[in-house]
Amino acid sequence: MAQCGWHTVAFPCLTRAIVSQLDQPTAGGQNRRMGWNILVTRRIPIEGIDLLRRSSANVRWHDEETPLPRGELLSQVRSCDGVIITGGDRIDAEFLDAASKLKVVSCIAVGYDNVDLTEASRRRVTVTNTPDVLTDACADLTWALILGVARRVVEGDRLTRSGEWQGWAPTQLRGVDVAGKTLGIVGAGRIGVAVAKRGTGFSMRLLYFARRAKPEMEAFGARLVTFDEILRESDLLCVHVPLTPDTRHLFGELEFRKMKPTAFFINMARGAVVDEAALVRALRERWIAGAGLDVYEHEPQISPELLQMPNTLLLPHLGSATVETRRRMSVLAAENLLAVLEGRLCPNIVNPF
Ligand code: DGY
């Protein structure tokens, strides 16, 4: 709920949990000095909010885990100069039309596929993201999925808790070795490189697919291959590309059919990079051995069949979810927003115009 010292706005048209600095009297009984109007659409770590509060901005904060209903979002953003948004908010022409004063959309995420950059740029609305600070957290969780699917970690946990475990048995819950296997990395951005770096510790053969050779990848012994090769050669194939018109459904029936029947598919990028129906078929019909997924095509909806399959390890979009990383993302999102509004240099603009 509301952070201490703030109080809930009492207008029935507003979400209960939206709190506002506008309504907070200062020691002298006056309202804070009016500044930029900023909306934060979701609960974020307090450090970013504190940063905004220390500026002269008027901050409205939807301090809830769930997104603002669309109608309310559109009405809240009407008077805003800046907004901090999460992946669940769709920033399209309708949103931007409703926000005629808007100067900056600050994404608390590295991915910004939920923002229509063309429409934003057309209206001279700057869009920013939070790269770098989440690279290690996302690479670590990729490895959690890799080891989780290869070594059947979740199944083991379930068996241990079930009360049915009879003790050590030579053929029980056998996974597959990771050491010595081929790790394919699709996408050679920051996270892909950090996944490769970790792969060197597991004595793996590292392959990657990208538009061009990346010295950072080669430094870890990874070899650039064609898309076809990476599909056919990988024992563990992980995806680290942004969602764009070019990468939507990059993985479909054709691609899964090319993979080894013993291979595991890991998606930490965006759900729509994968045709989820084709993935379900690939898993059901054993074209591939299993999948570790952090993202889904129609998030938060998940194909019901995926939920039933023993050869899937499913996480609820936790890539960057550590206390330290989310704190850094919160601060960076606030810094980006204030830098744009105040006309200072901002290194994280994704739509320079
Ligand atoms: C990101 O930063 O893009 C994460 O996936 C959260 O949306």
Q: Where are the beta strands (DSSP E) in 45-163?
A: 58-62, 82-85, 104-107, 126-128
| 149 shares a domain with 60 | no
CATH of the domain at 253: 3.40.50.720
CA of 173 to the centre of ligand 1 (A): 33
User: Tell me, what's the pLDDT at 129?
Assistant: 98
Q: How many CB atoms lie within 10 A of CB 312?
A: 22
Helix axes 190-200, 135-150, angle to 10 degrees: 50
* 47 within a domain of the structure (yes/no): yes
CA-proximal residue: ligand 1, atom 3 (nearest): 111
Give percent of the chain above pLDDT 90: 90
| 335 shares a domain with 296 | no
| 227 shares a domain with 201 | yes
* 220 within a domain of the structure (yes/no): yes
CA-proximal residue: ligand 1, atom 6 (nearest): 109
Task: Quickly tell me which residue has 């890799």 as its tokens.
Answer: 146
Mean pLDDT of the chain: 92
| Catalytic annotation, residues | 270, 299, 317
Atom of ligand 1 nearest to the CA of 87: 7
CA of 10 to the centre of ligand 1 (A): 32
| 153 shares a domain with 248 | yes
Residues 6+ apart with CB under 8 A from 317: 87, 294, 295, 296, 299, 300
* 6 within a domain of the structure (yes/no): no
Atom of ligand 1 nearest to the CA of 134: 2
Tell me the C-alpha distance between 82 and 57, whole Å.
Answer: 10
Residue 8 is given by DSSP the state B
| 86 shares a domain with 38 | yes
User: Tell me, what's the pLDDT at 56?
Assistant: 86
* 302 within a domain of the structure (yes/no): yes
| 336 shares a domain with 278 | no
- Residues within a 6 A CB radius of ligand 1: 87, 109-111, 134, 319-320
| 259 shares a domain with 122 | no
Q: Please state the domain count of the chain.
A: 2
* 10 within a domain of the structure (yes/no): no
Q: What is the pLDDT of residues 261-307, one digit of tens each?
A: 999 999 999 999 999 999 999 999 999 999 999 999 999 999 999 99
* 3 within a domain of the structure (yes/no): no
* 190 within a domain of the structure (yes/no): yes
- Tokens at residue 316, please? 């609820």
Contact criterion met (CB below 8 Å) for 68 and 90: no
Of 44, 106, 110, 294, the one to substitute when testing ligand 1's pocket (max ligand atoms within 8 A of C-beta) is: 110
Instruction: Give the bridge partners for 82, in sequence order.
Output: 38, 104
Tell me the C-alpha distance between 212 and 198, whole Å.
Answer: 21
| 336 shares a domain with 220 | no
| 121 shares a domain with 232 | no
| 301 shares a domain with 329 | no
* 101 within a domain of the structure (yes/no): yes
User: Tell me, what's the pLDDT at 17?
Assistant: 52
- pLDDT band for position 39 (50/70/90)? very high
CA angle 224, 318, 38 (to 5 degrees): 105
Range of the domain at 41: 18-131+324-341
CA angle 264, 232, 199 (to 5 degrees): 55
- pLDDT band for position 33 (50/70/90)? very low
| 176 shares a domain with 40 | no
| 72 shares a domain with 145 | no
